[in-house]
Amino acid sequence: MTDSAFDNLSIAVTLPCYNEGQSIAAVVIGFRKALPGARIYVYDNNSSDNTSEQAAMAGATVVPSRRQGKGNVVRQMFADIDADIYIMADGDGTYDPTAAPRMIQVLLEDNADMVVGTRRHIKQDAGRSGHAFGNRVFNAAYKALFGNEFTDIFSGYRAFTRRFAKSFPASSTGFEIETEMSVHASVLRLPVSEVEFDYGRRMEGSHSKLSTFRDGFRILRMMGMLMKETRPFLFFSYIAVFILAASIFLMAPVVRDYFETGLVDRIPTWMLAMTLLLGSMMTFIAGVILDSVARGRAEQKRIHYLSMAPSRGERYHAGTTPLIERRQPAGHHTVSDTSKTKAR
């Protein structure tokens, strides 16, 4: 599929930026060459350098985003822009614009709602191996908690359909937004795909805005919160088991002494152990109840998602019959077909 196959698609390239004046012009020009018909938006998140000026000179539409944090910017982008397909990337030049057409092609051919650009050579990100190690740890944790649909949950290079963008209830404020996107797709079991590409280095003088420990903690907290909201039975079961283990630890010597002497000498310890046991039972029951609530919320999200008209480009595939027409029963005529028959 060539770029001309996208001519009838409304494509928006969205670039959240904070102090990327050294690289943003090259990024905008790169996406304009890769997707000539796309609209390119740069959302300037309170930059103190010349990010806005450089982006405007390169031909992008610059939109100010006053709430600090990437999650806030993404939430505003999805609310502001109406398109068939959204491409999201960073303005630091580490994501290859020439991979965008392939991501759109996979999005259309796989009938996916999100395509994630997985990164090769991530260790070369300004030489910070800590990011690569954290990436592996969190990806393994994600697979254990939410499923194995993704191999790079932190990639900021993604393609979305309008249905995904408009049904995504973004609540994150910072770099944890990509994790929330992945969990949203996993919980609703949306069709997703991945495309691997080379991960570039930042330009000299450009610095990563990601803090290994601070943002790592925020991402870990977000994963815990999303687990509590989407998989409460598993979340509260873990807590219940931990409390139960503490209760048994305190209870064991008291029970041992009772069988040896027939007396309970440590009443406070026994009372604490019983309190923890009751707490464990209550926590487990809370998980059971909240699991039903979470299932109801997931059904509501799914219904809202289905209420959005599909826009994966079915009617734009060159040389094929539109998907809706292929599903019509034999002998069915559209209004236009009937009017043509009468005209004859």
Q: Give per-residue pLDDT as tens, 88-140.
A: 999 988 899 999 999 999 999 999 999 999 987 665 554 455 566 777 888 88
| CB neighbour burial string for 105-134, b if at least 16 within 10 angstroms, e if fewer | bbbbeeebbbbbbbbeebebbeebeebbeb
Residues recorded for the chain: 344
Residue 67 to residue 112: CA distance in whole angstroms = 31
CA distances from 90 to 22, 209, 249 (A): 13, 11, 50
Per DSSP, helices labelled H in 69-208 are 70-80, 100-109, 129-145, 162-167, 177-188
pLDDT above 80 for 329: no
pLDDT above 50 for 328: no
CA distances from 103 to 9, 30, 192, 238, 286 (A): 14, 15, 11, 38, 42
Beta bridge partners of 61: 41
Predicted structure pTM score: 0.76
pLDDT in the model for residue 84: 92
131 or 313, higher pLDDT:
131
134 or 296, higher pLDDT:
296
**Range name among 9-23, 107-121, 312-326 with the lowest pLDDT average:** 312-326
CA distances from 27 to 24, 40, 145, 203 (A): 5, 10, 35, 11
Can you tell me whether residue 68 is helix, strand or coil? coil
pLDDT in the model for residue 34: 94
Which residues lie closer than 8 Å to 289 by C-beta, 6 or more apart?
Answer: none
* pLDDT tens digit sequence for 170-195: 888 888 899 999 999 998 999 999 99
pLDDT in the model for residue 27: 95
Mean pLDDT of all residues in 309-320 = 52
pLDDT over 70, % of the chain: 81
* pLDDT tens digit sequence for 29-39: 999 999 999 99
pLDDT in the model for residue 323: 38
pLDDT in the model for residue 327: 37
pLDDT above 80 for 297: yes
| CB neighbour burial string for 30-63, b if at least 16 within 10 angstroms, e if fewer | bbbebbeebebbbbbbebeebbbebbbebebebb
* pLDDT tens digit sequence for 278-290: 999 999 999 999 9
pLDDT in the model for residue 131: 61
pLDDT above 70 for 262: yes
* pLDDT tens digit sequence for 43-58: 999 999 999 999 999 9
Q: How many CA atoms lie within 13 A of 20 on its CB side?
A: 25
Residue 188 to residue 176: CA distance in whole angstroms = 19
pLDDT above 60 for 291: yes
pLDDT in the model for residue 99: 93
Task: State the chain's mean pLDDT as an integer.
Answer: 83
pLDDT in the model for residue 210: 62
Mean pLDDT of all residues in 257-269 = 88
Burial status of residue 256 (CB atoms within 10 A of its CB: 0-12, 13-18, 19 or more) = exposed
pLDDT in the model for residue 3: 56
pLDDT in the model for residue 144: 86
